[in-house]
Amino acid sequence: MRKIAVIGLGHVGVTVAYTIYAQGLCDELVLIDKNEKKLRAEEYDFKDAASRMLFHTEIKTGDYNELKDADVVITAFGDIEASVKSGDRFAELPINRAAAKEVGQKIKAAGFKGVVINISNPCDVITSILQHETQLPKNQVLGTGTFLDTARMQRTVGEAMNQDPRNVAGYVLGEHGNSQFIAWSTVVVNNKAASDLFTPEEIEKLDKLPVEGAWKVAFGKGYTSYAVATCAVRLAEAVLSNAHLFAPVSVYLDEYETYIGYPAIIGSKGIEAVVQLDLTEKEQEKMWQSARYIVRKY
């Protein structure tokens, strides 16, 4: 019996829930939101679609006690308007800090023993708070982190080379926010190093595009949803299927004493291992700068 819960049914949370529902990734899907009217509306809309779905998924709503035997909890609460107005994901921190403490305590009280996947911003800080409040092992609490930012890098580099983004490998590391950076030493296109494909001037221009692209979406439609929801669902599927997925996520690194975007292997118990990268000295310094920024904000 595969069971997933989604906490927070805003633009992102409901997109996550619907993607899970449409793909038949679980047998039971628990929907939780503080807005009772919104929760009931989404419940009925999902159930109205049931007779046309290819898969059967039982919908349950509103009860944290349902989390006791859940495999995965995805947290997607937040106030996206604060981030969009300021151009800074940390604008959501005052609201989401309180929400993370409340939600984390309720997850713990429910006796949840599975894996928490956090989307809520600022992702790395909120993931830290959720781990602290749930008291789950650090490997069982992770965030989407730079999984999304890496996808944005793959898109921009792929477009520059007229290539499918899936032909681009490499990582965006650090904060899921403005201090993130592309680790160019890791980027390859069709097995060719980025340093052999782009001039330093081209790399400098491409460097800015993932962050700019994120805000272009947010400013244009008022929020982001499809890409980050896809990332969260991919991670949930990796947990459910014990896929040993290799991906850059918000993971706790002892070296930096914080959650931060870095490659890890994700399976049924969450983070199975962190994969050490051979970064350049400049990239290592950027990691430290990003980590210090996250810790100061925390």
Task: State the Cα angle at 237 between 232 and 240, rounded to 5°.
Answer: 130
Q: Which two tokens stand for residue 234?
A: 């991919």
Binding-site residue numbers are 8-13, 33, 96, 119-121
Q: Which two tokens stand for residue 87?
A: 């151009």
Outline where the chain has alpha helix (H): 11-23, 36-49, 80-86, 93-109, 123-134, 147-161, 194-197, 200-207, 209-221, 226-240, 281-297
Residue of 56, 132, 176, 244 marked active site: 176
176 in catalytic set: yes
- Indicate the burial class of 86 (C-beta count within 10 angstroms; 0-12, 13-18, 19 or more): exposed
Rounded-to-integer distance, Cα 200 and Cα 10, Å: 41
Backbone φ, ψ for residue 276 (5° rounding): -70, 130
Binding-site residue numbers for NAD(+) are 8-13, 33, 96, 119-121
Handedness of CA 252, 255, 261, 263 (dihedral sign): negative
Catalytic annotation, residues: 176
